[in-house]
Chain A
Amino acid sequence: MFQNRAEALALALPAAVFATVVFLLPVAILLSEGFRAGGAWTLSAYTGFFSETLNRTVFLRSFRLAIEVTAVSAVIGYAAAFAIVNLPANGKGRMVGLVTLPLMISPVARTYAWIVILGRTGIVNQAITGLGFSADPLRLLFTETAVFIGLLQLFLPLMILSLISALENMPKDAIPAARVLGANWFQVFWKVVLPLTREGLVVGGTLVFTGSLTAYITPAVLGGSKVLMLETLMYQQVSVANDFVSASVIAFILIVMSFAANILLKRLATARSRR
């Protein structure tokens, strides 16, 4: 495509310089804060961070919630994407539009909507009391469940869209062929669909996991202090304690976890396809 390697590099240079100056360099400077103490390079900020019970609790809670949201969005995402790709063309277009619609609405507005839905007088509690499951409204807001629901609603469309794309690229006769050969639906999914859509799952999974791990407004509004997460802790360290070193440590942890999730998902998908 290009005359030589130098020409290709020259074309990529402006973008590389721009990304380095406005993104990589500031991030590197920020992250280096966590490795410096009194002018020397050290891991003391990291050991100090993990030595505190609160920080360990918050780290594990954030990690667990991000995994739960990713897993549930994968299950719901496959079902929804399957249904959508099997619709006629115009129906498919409308459904993709519906899935995309929430992405055009601010996460703040979507999060605040959950305050109404999950409130004591919201439709969920009305259904619970109306159907006789409980005499009094349940406290759903400001709980880990509320944060989970908010995050799932926030990032599920990304998983569905990734899986729709992957399912559409799958050979049309793969599923009928497996069925003809005697595979049940579980075997079809496990041995045919999953390996053939692994790229979509890796992309969707990484987006959902990273998004859930780094979202700020949803955990802050639906969980508050009662469900402290890494990003709310980081905000506190900067805005209240003015402790940029701790904030840098948390930022580094979040970045490492995001990269690790991507690598792990790729490995899992690759391992599955080799079997």
Chain B
Amino acid sequence: MKKALMVSAALAALWPFAASAAERTLTISVYAFAQDDFKTLVYDPFEAQCGCKLVVETGNSVERLAKMEANKANPVVDLAAVSMADALAASRAGLTDKIDTTKLANFDKLYDVAKDPNGDGMSVGYTFYATSIAYRSDKMKIESWADLLKPEYVGHVAFPNVTTNQGPPALYMLGLSLGKDTPDLQGPIAALGEKKDDIVTFYEKSSQLVQLMQQEEIWAAPIGRFSWAGFTKLDLPVAWATPKEGQTGGMNVLVLTKGSKNQDLAMQFMDFWLSTEIQTKLAEKLIDSPANSEVKLSEAAAGNLTYGEETAKSLKLIPSAIALDNRAGWLKTWNEKVGQ
């Protein structure tokens, strides 16, 4: 009897381990941005709903894609959040699978631009953002991207480095304004190179810009809408420009890892992330602009995000194939004209 009790007690003690061993696990690879909020708003509710365990890996795109490539034969990650261009790079490298959108209850709610951004069926957009110019409305007037290079303004401008996500889109718009619209961005890079000594800095981190604006080091800088909230808190008249050439931007997407053993669970998670409820919560916290067209936002949130069908349609996004095929060339030209 005593022996039986001891065995029972030992089995009871082992029960949690036995349960956790049977628990399904989904591994996702995401940007390190706002992870505390993501845990509260997305990860914890999903775990409660699916009865599964979520393992979250974070890092920049290069690190995460390199890891996916290294584990290609035996994938560790089931789902990843990356930029449009990185999704195409992953697709070209054979790292992703086609997404069966019939399994996504929320797919039809997405803006058209987010449904299949790369046209290969390998990704769906979960957020997009506009890129335009934040500027001191009391010091200058911005009607065109080319205004940034006017002699009276150029000495107060920060421009994104070509290595940042904002760099190529901003160069693309500058090129349009200068009538130099080629995928190699030679025209706008050369124009910036001529003014490189006047421009305050070619920034690497958008987080620097609020401080530079506050110190009156700069009056204007092309930024992504997700950086805008910080400028609104300054006690300065900072405006969001609507240049005549329009706004550009970028989109982040979700992809499924090829060969993942948890694709059904990954699809569940993808659908959860794209749902109106979760997209609304993320938007109200000013974390991500919604890709779900049914999301209705408060005025405060809408004013700080890239929101609405018209905005989504009006964004001039650089096609992923052009970004991928020209990236190394952009860097080379940039370093020759601006970096020397």
Genuine A/B complex: yes
A241: interface (CB < 8 Å): yes
Digitize B108-123: 1 where CB-to-A-CB distance is under 8 Å, 0 elsewhere: 0000000000000000
- Does B318 belong to the interface (CB within 8 Å)? no
Could you tell me the distance in whole angstroms from the C-beta of A121 to the nearest C-beta in chain B? 5
Given contacts A57-B340, A120-B216, A236-B331, contact A224 B163 (CB under 8 A): no
The answer to whether B328 and A243 touch across the interface, beta carbons within 8 angstroms, is yes
Q: Are A224 and B161 in contact (CB under 8 A)?
A: yes
CB–CB A224/B202 < 8 A: yes
Q: Decide if A226 touches B196 in the complex (CB within 8 Å).
A: yes
Asked whether A119 lies within 8 Å of B201 as measured between CB atoms, the reply is no
Interface centre among A58, A119, A122 (most CB of B within 10 A): A119
| Residue B8 is within 8 A (CB to CB) of chain A in the complex | no
User: For B200, what are the chain A residues with a Cβ–Cβ distance below 8 Å?
Assistant: 139, 141-142
- Please, which residue of chain A has its CB at the minimum distance from the CB of B159? A225
- Given contacts A141-B200, A141-B201, A142-B200, A239 and B163 within 8 Å (CB-CB): yes
Residues on B with C-beta less than 8 A from A228 are 335, 339-340
Most buried by A among B200, B208, B327, B339: B339
Q: Chain A residues with Cβ under 8 A from B331's Cβ? A: 236, 240-241
Q: Which residues of B lie under 8 Å from residue A225 when comparing CB positions?
A: 161-162, 201-202, 334, 338-339
Contact B201 A226 (CB under 8 A): yes
Complex contact A115–B211 (CB within 8 A): yes
Say yes or no: A240 contacts B201, CB within 8 Å. no
A224 and B215: CB pair below 8 A? no
A139-B201 Cα distance, complex, nearest whole Å: 11
Residues of A within 8 A of B203 (CB): 224
**CB-based contact B204/A224 at 8 Å:** yes
Whether B339 lies near A119 (C-beta < 8 A) is no
Contacts of A40-67 to chain B: CB distance below 8 A: 53-54, 57-58
- Chain A, range 105-143, C-beta contacts under 8 Å to B: 112, 115-116, 119-122, 139, 141-142
A31 at the binding interface (Cβ < 8 Å): no
Q: Is B325 an interface residue (CB 8 A)?
A: no
CB distance from B67 to the nearest CB of A (A): 14
Q: A222 CB to closest chain B CB, in angstroms? A: 9
Measured between alpha carbons, how far is A235 from B161 in the docked complex, in Å?
Answer: 13
**Cβ of A112 and Cβ of B211 under 8 Å apart?**
yes
**Interface size, A (range):** 20 to 34
| A57–B339 CA distance with the chains assembled, in angstroms | 10
In Å, the complex CA distance between A112 and B204 comes to 13
Asked whether B6 is an interface residue with its Cβ less than 8 Å from the other chain, the reply is no
Q: Does B181 contact A (CB under 8 A)?
A: no
Smallest CB separation, A228 vs chain B (Å) = 5
Q: Does A160 contact B (CB under 8 A)?
A: no
Measured in the bound complex, the distance between the Cα atoms of B340 and A216 in whole Å is 18
B62 at the interface (CB under 8 A from A): yes
Binary per-residue interface labels of chain A (12-36) against chain B in the complex, 1 for a CB within 8 Å, 0 otherwise: 0000000000000000000000000
B37 within 8 A of A: no
Known A121-B216, A141-B200, A225-B161; judge A240-B327 contact (CB<8 A): yes
| B336 CB-CB contact with A under 8 Å | yes
List residues of chain A with CB within 8 A of the CB of B339: 54, 58, 225-226, 228
**Would you call B328 and A53 a contact (CB within 8 A)?**
no
How far is A120 from B155 in the complex, measured between Cα atoms in Å?
12
**Is A241 in contact with B215, judged by CB distance below 8 angstroms?**
no
Q: Which residues of B contact A243 (CB under 8 A)?
A: 328
Chain B, 176-228, CB within 8 A of any chain A CB: 196, 200-205, 208, 211-212, 215-217
B161 surroundings in chain A (CB, below 8 A): 224-225
Q: Which residue of A lies closest to B89 (CB)?
A: A242
> How far in angstroms is the closest Cβ of chain B from A212?
19
Docked Cα-Cα span, A120 to B204, in Å, equals: 20
Chain B residues with CB under 8 A of A220? 204
Give bound CA distance, A261 to B200, whole Å: 34
Whether B201 contacts A142 by the Cβ 8 Å rule is yes
Contact of B163 among A58, A116, A142, A236 (CB under 8 A): A236
CA distance A139 to B268 in the complex (A): 54
Report the minimal beta-carbon distance from A200 to chain B, rounded to whole angstroms: 36
Chain B residue contacts of A121, Cβ below 8 A:
215-216
Mark interface residues in A236-275 (1 if CB within 8 Å of B CB, else 0). Answer: 1011111100000000000000000000000000000000
Cβ of B232 within 8 Å of any chain A Cβ, yes or no, is no
| Least distance between A49 CB and chain B CB atoms (Å) | 13
Residues in chain A near residue B242, CB distance under 8 A:
none
Residue A164, interface by CB 8 Å: no
Q: Say yes or no for B60: interface residue by CB 8 A criterion.
A: yes
Please state if A226 and B202 are interface contacts (CB–CB under 8 Å).
Answer: yes
State which residues 137-188 of B face A: CB under 8 Å. Answer: 161-163
Q: A142-B201, A241-B327, A242-B62 are in contact. List 10 more A-B contacts (CB 8 A).
A: A54-B335, A57-B340, A115-B215, A116-B211, A120-B215, A221-B208, A224-B161, A225-B339, A241-B328, A242-B328
Which residues in B have some Cβ–Cβ distance to A below 8 Å?
60, 62, 161-163, 196, 200-205, 208, 211-212, 215-217, 327-328, 330-332, 334-336, 338-340
* Top 10 A-B residue pairs of the complex, sorted by shortest distance between their CB atoms: A225-B202, A119-B215, A142-B201, A241-B328, A228-B339, A224-B201, A240-B163, A239-B62, A240-B331, A54-B335
User: Which A residues are within 8 Å of any B CB, using their own CB?
Assistant: 53-54, 57-58, 112, 115-116, 119-122, 139, 141-142, 220-221, 224-226, 228, 233, 235-236, 238-243
14 A-B residue pairings within 8 Å (CB atoms): A54-B339, A54-B340, A58-B339, A119-B212, A120-B215, A221-B204, A224-B202, A226-B196, A226-B338, A233-B335, A236-B331, A239-B163, A242-B327, A242-B328
